[in-house]
Amino acid sequence: MTTVLKNAAQLVGVFGADERRRRGAAMASPGVIEGGALVMSYGHIDWLGPTANLPPLPHDAEVIDVSGQVVLPGFVDSHTHLLFAGSREGEFEQRLRGASYQEITARGGGIMSTVRSVREKTREELKELARPRLKRLLQFGVTTVEVKSGYGLSTADERKCLEAVAELNQEQPVELVPTFLGAHAVPAEYGDRRHEYVRLLLDDMLPDVAQNRLAVFCDVFCETGVFSLSESERILDRARDLGLQLKLHADELTPLGGAELAARLGAVSADHLLCVTEAGIDALAESPTVATLLPGTAFFLGLPYAPARKLIERGVTVALASDCNPGTCPTENLPLVGSMACTQMGMLPGEVVTALTLNAAAALRRSDRVGALAAGRQADVIVCDAPNYAHLFYHFGVNHVRRVYKRGRAVHPV
């Protein structure tokens, strides 16, 4: 089956066939073909170029005129906690009255509040709760999404969550990439016996996840009062020995040195970085570790944003993601996160496109397959009702996405 999109105002995200990431000044120019056409068949992009140069097509090809619209690679959301139960409006209000995220956590709220809700749910119930979130992500143009565990915090409950992610991956079009985040918090029942929980992570949970291939990545919430730098290193070392790739919640609320640790361990990404230091930026610039920025979280918590301009100017590979989660960023609107990146972090619209496509795919080690309009790439493609790509972030808060193709198949609308 062949589908052709022709007369696009712009094809955007036309990266090189061998290009796996884009850094520095080049991030601002996400490859544009004006008046472009794109041919998809059998799940892959076959050809793209000016509409006037379209090659001969099979007689049964479906040809769609997308005049006045822009075509991009499906967005990749490389950091979410979207498998959860319950909601945390109460904390939202407490924060608006002046309490901090850390104070709410100390009172037994925060992550543990969601953990209590998730432990009460079955795998089926968790899937049912996640389906509408995945549908909203798809409607906002997301075709690949990373999903973290971390609201189970026991071997059985973490497994329940990761099995739910595996089953959701089979039944709906958004491709899910599972991450084990058993080191999201020390669960309340461990009290001051935190070393026992770290032992459980090392000796029981991580081997269970690895043996049963429940996750691709292992992540740790490395933060003052959560997991220290040395605990994070022990957990990530063990994860790497067991064959998992590494991610890190780094320098989100305090400058602990997470960026340096992520770079030193060869983590695929270091995420958040609101409080990253100069030394942390240097470490990232000299490493292949992707800096994944989550401005929706700074927006929702009312915190200063990550230094995106500095990171880009120093040559760090920068990606953007939603952080979709019930505590610190309850949204699936990834293009709106792109608008925040522009207005709050000074990123240019072209940089935002690169950060939501090629570099976000690099943050999941999938930029050989998705995140670009290039012949041979998987045909994950979106069509947006906008005259140019800047418009996507300029006219903010509305949904410009009109069509979504996953592996060449129309999945929205269906």
Contacts to ligand IZC by CB under 6 A: 81, 110-111, 114, 221, 249, 325-328
Least separation in angstroms between CB 134 and ligand IZC: 18
Nearer Cβ to ligand IZC, position 81 or 121? 81
Backbone angles phi, psi at 320, to 5 degrees: -125, 145
Least separation in angstroms between CB 292 and ligand IZC: 13
Least separation in angstroms between CB 181 and ligand IZC: 8
Least separation in angstroms between CB 252 and ligand IZC: 6
Nearer Cβ to ligand IZC, position 141 or 326? 326
What does the alpha-carbon distance between residue 316 and residue 310 come to, in Å, rounded to a whole number? 9
Give the number of other CB atoms < 10 A from CB of residue 155: 17
Which residue number has the CB closest to ligand IZC?
327
β-pairing verdict for 70-73 and 2-12: parallel
Nearer Cβ to ligand IZC, position 74 or 326? 326
Helical spans, DSSP H, in 148-288: 155-171, 194-200, 206-211, 229-241, 258-265, 278-285
Least separation in angstroms between CB 253 and ligand IZC: 8
**SS3 of 343-367:** HHHCCCHHHHHHHHCHHHHHCCCCC
- Tell me the helices (H) and strands (E) count for the chain, helix number first: 16, 16
Place of tokens 């996750």: 215
β-pairing verdict for 381-384 and 269-272: unpaired
What does the alpha-carbon distance between residue 199 and residue 201 come to, in Å, rounded to a whole number? 5
Nearer Cβ to ligand IZC, position 105 or 143? 105
Query: SS3 for 132?
Result: helix
Nearer Cβ to ligand IZC, position 272 or 403? 272
Least separation in angstroms between CB 247 and ligand IZC: 12
Least separation in angstroms between CB 81 and ligand IZC: 5
Query: SS3 for 319?
Result: strand
Nearer Cβ to ligand IZC, position 3 or 328? 328
Nearer Cβ to ligand IZC, position 108 or 243? 108
